[in-house]
Structure 1
Amino acid sequence: MRTFRLRRSSLKGNCLCGEVSFELSGILPPIYQCHCSLCRKVSGASSNSALIVRADSFKWLSGTNSISRYVSSSGFKSEFCQCCGSPVPNISSSKDTYWVPVGLMSEDLATTIKAHVYVNSRANWDEAFICDNVEKFATMPSESEWLKLSE
């Protein structure tokens, strides 16, 4: 199994104003880009680029008291800095992983985009990714599919 390692033992990230900060450690997984309408609204862009990291590889450094949360009727949740509005990491319902927006990372990442997800609900003007060689999924890939992509 091929993995991508951090160039350092840890990698820091923070929101736009710096109030909320965190650190990742260990193996850095590949990035996915979600093209669903909810992620487009959260990011204000054609997709939302994120990592899913193990909970034991994630550590809050500051600002957890500045995080607000929105949960839709469907269960979709968005956590964000109440000072600057940046989306911030949030823990999965199983509590074993964190969703981390890669745009918050303060340093270069030693990983690549491995999947476009929810491509069937992408915006009608979102054509830029069609020509790349990245795996595309109509919905979110299963855990086994994602692990296979991470090899």
Structure 2
Amino acid sequence: MNGKCLCGAVEFQLDEPLPGLYQCHCSLCRKLSGSASDAAMFIGRDQFRWVRGLDKISSYRKPSGYRSDFCSHCGSSVPHLMSNTTHFWVPAGLLDSDFRGKVMAHLYVDSKAHWDEIGGQAEHFSEMPELEELSRLLHEEIEKEESELLET
């Protein structure tokens, strides 16, 4: 699966199978996305490759540790290696249009904007769950598909 920023200067590849998505409704992610939530996935370092544009990436960090990497040309949020993990944070909107993942979790639902209406069947969390729990949830669909393949 390929992904790239709006102008195409920053491009990356992900090895499948890909986990499900989460949407974060916290105020920081709303500011980052300019919308009701930020849709993204966590993917292992071994499944991620930069194709081009590392020299085009700028980074912003808050004193709290919150980090946002973006294309210095078009401003699109771009993936970054999460601190203290072996996972990349990958914004879902950068992925090619044939990506068929689904939202498995909504985070910080107690902090959502008043005008934000959350639909769908995904699990809701009032805050950020433990990363292991979130990772398990986001990978459930992969495990389900693999077990269905084994049964056939």
Q: Which residue of 2 aligns with 1:82?
A: 72
The answer as to whether partners of 1:17 and 1:83 remain within 8 angstroms in 2 is: yes
C-alpha distance in 1, partners of 2:3/2:137? 27
Q: Which residue of 2 aligns with 1:120?
A: 110
Q: Which residue of 1 aligns with 2:49?
A: 59
C-alpha distance in 1, partners of 2:45/2:72? 23
Alignment of 1:73 onto 2:63? yes
Structure 2 residue matching 1:106: 3-state secondary structure? coil
**Which stretches in structure 1 are left out of the alignment for 5+ residues?**
1-10
Q: Return the offset for 1:106.
A: 1.7
Identify which of 77, 95, 98 aligns with 2:88.
98
The answer as to whether partners of 1:92 and 1:98 remain within 8 angstroms in 2 is: yes
The answer as to whether partners of 1:55 and 1:95 remain within 8 angstroms in 2 is: no
Amino acid of the residue matched to residue 150 of structure 1? Answer: H
Amino acid of the residue matched to residue 70 of structure 2? Answer: F
TM-score between the two structures when normalised by the length of structure 1: 0.87
C-alpha distance in 1, partners of 2:112/2:6? 26
Structure with greater proportional helix content: 2
Identify which of 18, 33, 47 aligns with 2:37.
47
Q: Return the offset for 1:96.
A: 0.6
The answer as to whether partners of 1:21 and 1:60 remain within 8 angstroms in 2 is: yes
C-alpha distance in 1, partners of 2:34/2:70? 14
Q: Return the offset for 1:148.
A: 4.1
Cα distance change, pair 51–64 in 1 and its aligned pair in 2 (3 A): same
Deviates more, 1:100-109 or 1:62-71: 100-109
C-alpha distance in 2, partners of 1:144/1:62? 30
Amino acid of the residue matched to residue 20 of structure 2? Answer: P
C-alpha distance in 2, partners of 1:144/1:60? 25
The answer as to whether partners of 2:81 and 2:87 remain within 8 angstroms in 1 is: yes
Structure 1 residue matching 2:17: 3-state secondary structure? strand
Q: Return the offset for 1:149.
A: 5.2
C-alpha distance in 1, partners of 2:103/2:36? 15
Structure 2 residue matching 1:26: 3-state secondary structure? coil
State the aligned residue count: 139
Q: Which residue of 1 aligns with 2:97?
A: 107
Structure with greater proportional strand content: 1
TM-score between the two structures when normalised by the length of structure 2: 0.87
User: Percent same amino acid among aligned pairs?
Assistant: 46
C-alpha distance in 2, partners of 1:103/1:69? 19
**Which stretches in structure 2 are left out of the alignment for 5+ residues?**
141-152
